[in-house]
Amino acid sequence: MDPGAAAPRRGKRPKSGDPVVDRALTLLAAFSADHRALGLAELSRRAGMPRSTTSRLAARLREWGALERDEQGRFVVGLRLFEIASLAPRSHGLREVALPYLEDLHEVTRQHVLLAVRDGAEALLVERLSARAAVEVAYRVGGRMPLHDTGVGLVLLADADPAFRDEQFALLESPAAVAELRRRLADVQRLGVAVFDRKRPAPVSSVAAPVRDHAERIVAAVSIVVPAGSAKPQAYEQVVRAAALAISRGMGSRRGTRTSRPAQ
């Protein structure tokens, strides 16, 4: 070493690869609705990390409570993450206000009742109430749903800015699909409610309405999902609108009161 060269700094490792926090988050993102329990080898593969790194990070996440082990020794998401996630203001405050009205809607219809918010290019389900005999649906609390292919998604997409909607149109397979989605969104904007039919995993109809906050911004959508053909979806519009309006008032909206301003 050159005697005149500066001595190397001690106490800090040079940056190399992804930061530890990024790798830890990647590890957690390896879990999904279809992969709730993962052995070390599968966790390593899904996260794209060496097995030794995965083992070390998983052990640290277990100590903190973000991961746990099930009866077979596989890794599962820990309750500490649920505790932290429950503090998210976009879901917790909204859910707290909405739950009594969702329960009323569920009691009246005895069908699936959904509450969702937009998160990027998807709808995120923050609450679901279901009757045991209700039609099969694939959605779970915390799960994501397409904006263009669900009732709540159409309500949220109809309120998005035009540039974002254009991005969603570009993802569709054909001009006919784009024209159909434009028509659906125009109906939502005109009527203030979305009525949507879907064939998979079971034929269902959905009726959804927007939830507004104190600034009259659409912050969520509430819907019911009923078996296709059981009744005309329009028969549910009034109760869904009433529930959405009641939740909106709880969020500070003045719509539907004497002091409300006219719709723009």
Kindly report, residue by residue over 164-222, the tens digit of the pLDDT: 999 999 999 899 999 999 999 999 999 999 998 877 667 788 899 999 998 899 999 99
pTM above 0.75, yes or no: no
Kindly report, residue by residue over 54-68, the tens digit of the pLDDT: 999 999 999 999 999
Q: What is the pLDDT of residue 234?
A: 75
When pLDDT is cut at 50, 70 and 90, the band that residue 245 belongs to is: very high
Closest CA to 208 of 184, 172, 229: 184
In this structure, the strands spanning 218-227 and 112-119 are antiparallel
DSSP state, residue 95 = H
Q: What is the mean pLDDT of residues 25-32?
A: 91
40-47 and 20-29 helices, crossing angle to 10°? 110
Cβ atoms of 37 and 73 closer than 8 Å: no
Report CA-CA distances (Å) from 13 to 7, 8, 24, 51, 57.
15, 11, 19, 22, 18
